[in-house]
Structure 1
């Protein structure tokens, strides 16, 4: 599966000059954990995350316990560029989903900006992958049962973690046919005929 097939788009982005207080509101309102930071042309320049903003709040509250969290020592609102991560890993829309999963697992990054033609077009997150996995068995079950019913209306499949269990086929030829039908569905890990 390609990243473009699962990514959240359009990406919710901010500019480096966006006030920290606005970035906090966006993360909270959109229920996301990070946002790509882009320049005025939409090119990726960083990422700002909950962790960046929480650390900023802690540092300010340690230094200035009575000062508002979003005010810098210069008297102006702090900007995203002052707290964001500059070294950013991104993926391309035509990369395989497995590549994004590998990056998220190896870096512990929760979401990755998705770029196309040097512009941020989406975000792929752990929650996108979890959502896909949670619905995978339901999709496989529906597709396998539809295909099986076209061969024989009494055949039925159940699916658990991509493993299909087919009931109904009686003779060896029917069993082989049911196995071939179920195995042809994308995402099937194994087929058992009972």
Structure 2
């Protein structure tokens, strides 16, 4: 799947001249946690998130760090924090370094972006740089919940066994030479030795995902550690 398959579109946006109060109201009314900021050409120039609203003078939540923290931070950082907590317009509170993706970006890459950058959503832009959608962590969860189970297939036991062994040979973590699989009427019995419980679980999951498998019996054992 690609970003285009799960993205929300059209996207609720604001301009940099909007007030912080207006953005806060929009987020509450639309039940969203972020609002992209666009220019006249509908290109993303920033984004306002819940995090940008945490420390605000209106709510009495502006930062009140100890003197030594302020001393270490320096006057420039303190000035920037003051502007963000007291500013009236979006241009002064928005995050300008926006991480984005394209409609063709594979979902696994979007998931990696969200995880590695510790962000909750990614604006989706086309080749012209125009905002066309947004993908959040919730949208990825929706994709999982909406996934349709594979149609049941009745494959010969020998085919199931061979497909499982072939799949395991492609995995760097598996050690097929230490494994054996016996398939009877769609039930897979796993035998052999593994290095860890995680490898054991992965092998069981691999077997469960082979079309035609009815159930899996795990007889795998962890290799004993030699003392000498």
The counterpart of 2:91, out of the listed 77, 81, 100, is: 81
Aligned to 1:133: 144
Aligned to 1:109: 119
The counterpart of 1:98, out of the listed 96, 100, 108, is: 108
Whether contact under 8 Å (2:14, 2:23) holds in the other structure is yes
Distance 1:121 1:33, change over 3 A: same
For each residue in 1:9-44, what CA deviation from the matched residue of structure 2 results, as whole angstroms up to 9, or x when unmatched?
111111111111111111112221111111011001
Query: After the TM superposition, which parts of structure 1 deviate over 4 Å for at least 4 consecutive aligned residues?
Result: 57-63
Cα distance between partner residues in 2 of 1:134 and 1:119: 29
> Where does the alignment leave 5 or more consecutive residues of structure 1 unmatched?
64-71, 150-170, 176-187
**SS at 1:14's partner residue?**
coil
**SS at 2:91's partner residue?**
helix
- TM-score, length-scaled by structure 1: 0.65
Cα distance between partner residues in 2 of 1:41 and 1:144: 46
The counterpart of 2:135, out of the listed 113, 124, 133, is: 124
- TM-score, length-scaled by structure 2: 0.56
Whether contact under 8 Å (1:56, 1:83) holds in the other structure is no
**SS at 2:54's partner residue?**
helix
Whether contact under 8 Å (2:37, 2:45) holds in the other structure is yes
Aligned to 1:45: 45
Q: CA RMSD in A?
A: 3.0
Greater RCO structure (CA 8 Å; 6+ sep): 1
Aligned to 2:8: 8
Distance 1:37 1:62, change over 3 A: closer
Cα distance between partner residues in 2 of 1:94 and 1:62: 40
Cα distance between partner residues in 2 of 1:99 and 1:127: 16
Aligned to 1:184: none
> Where does the alignment leave 5 or more consecutive residues of structure 2 unmatched?
64-81, 155-183, 187-207, 216-228
Cα distance between partner residues in 1 of 2:53 and 2:62: 14
Work out the number of aligned pairs and report it.
144
Look at both structures and tell me which one has the larger radius of gyration over its CA atoms. Answer: 2
**SS at 2:56's partner residue?**
helix
